[in-house]
Amino acid sequence: MDKRPIGIFDSGIGGLTVLKEIVAQLPGEDTIYLGDTARVPYGIRSSSTVIRYSYQNADFLAMQGIKILVVACNTVSAVAIEKLSGRLSIPVIGVIEPGAMAASKVSARGSIGVIGTVATVESGAYQRVLKQLIPDVDITARACPLFVPLVEEGWIDGNIARNIVRTYLKSLRRHKVDTLVLGCTHYPLLKDLIGEYMGEETVLIDSAVETAKETQRVLKSEGIMNSGGRTGKRRFYVTDSPARFRTVGEIFLGEGVTDIDLVDIV
């Protein structure tokens, strides 16, 4: 029994989709979430900037005495996960491997689509892991940068969202991918529209769900679960005004977000 909290960070608010799954699968664990809301978005920045930001985020959480670090951000996972693992002395989990692993298991024909931010898609991180898992995999990758502001605006249904989904995903549908990895924290909120457009033959992979499963697996194998049959405490830190985090956070978490503190991590 290890009472230390699970640390989770994201470039901003989107990582709450990962926290939501962690809370669902590991309700007894305490969690500390850091959203770097002052510097979001990361998805349009260079690798060196994303790495520098992610060191500051990870160091802040490590100082809070966490037992495991979950990097909820796909962009950070794509460019910095190995560096973060080397930097910290606790287990570090990213979202890319769990998502890619799940896709490789369900893909019927090895025709896999990957969508994410520009940085995630250009890094080739999902593509690399998928190729290791299925050597002759056929990958169609597409950056969908407008999905992030769309979701943050709360426009997750209706015609504007439907048109943007159709425009971005046209090539993936034409390619008849049998599996589509939602490689960005925000995309699970567009799951219904994406599923509607891609059709029933395409299986959608939610990296958030898979990452929570991986977190549970690592906690068990390391013998560091908190199995006290209690409800875990939630704590939130942000690098910019908590007010917006509180409002938009509810869309992501599906419940009220309280106990939010503003921090300077630089």
The catalytic residue positions are 73, 184
Site for ligand DGL in 203-262 (CB under 6 A): none
CB of 54 to ligand DGL, least distance (A): 11
Ranges of H-type helices in the chain: 16-25, 47-63, 74-87, 96-106, 118-123, 125-133, 147-152, 159-174, 191-198, 207-222, 242-253
The two three-digit tokens of residue 22, written as one number:
């962690």
Which of 10-18, 58-66, 105-113, 239-247 is the region at the interface with ligand DGL (rule: CB under 6 A)?
10-18
Using the 8-state DSSP alphabet, how is residue 198 labeled?
H
Count of residues interacting with ligand DGL (CB under 6 A): 18
Amino acid 203 reads: V
Binding flag, residue 99, ligand DGL (CB under 6 A): no
Q: In the chain, what's the furthest Cα-to-Cα distance?
A: 50
Residue closer to ligand DGL by CB (options 183, 232) is 183
Residue closer to ligand DGL by CB (options 43, 232) is 43
Which of 70-78, 102-110, 153-161, 229-237 is the region at the interface with ligand DGL (rule: CB under 6 A)?
70-78
What sign does the CA torsion over 17, 21, 24, 27 have? Answer: negative
- Picking from 51, 52, 57, 56, the residue whose alpha carbon sits closest to that of residue 33 is 57
Site for ligand DGL in 157-196 (CB under 6 A): 184-186
Which of 55-63, 69-77, 80-88, 237-245 is the region at the interface with ligand DGL (rule: CB under 6 A)?
69-77
Query: How many CB atoms within 10 Å of residue 172?
Result: 23
Which of 57-65, 112-120, 167-175, 195-203 is the region at the interface with ligand DGL (rule: CB under 6 A)?
112-120
Site for ligand DGL in 115-154 (CB under 6 A): 116-117, 120, 148
Q: Specify whether the CB–CB gap between 92 and 161 falls below 8 A.
A: no
- As a whole number of angstroms, the distance between CA 97 and CA 223 comes to 22
Angle between the 242-253 and 16-25 helix axes, to the nearest 10 degrees?
A: 50
The two three-digit tokens of residue 151, written as one number:
């979701």
Binding flag, residue 41, ligand DGL (CB under 6 A): yes
Binding flag, residue 10, ligand DGL (CB under 6 A): yes
**Among residues 11, 104, 123, 215, the one that binds ligand DGL under rule CB under 6 A:** 11
**Among residues 37, 54, 57, 74, the one that binds ligand DGL under rule CB under 6 A:** 74
Binding flag, residue 35, ligand DGL (CB under 6 A): no
How many CA within 13 A on the CB side of residue 69? Answer: 31
CB of 206 to ligand DGL, least distance (A): 12
Q: Which residues of the chain form contacts with ligand DGL (CB under 6 A)?
A: 10-12, 14, 40-43, 73-75, 116-117, 120, 148, 184-186
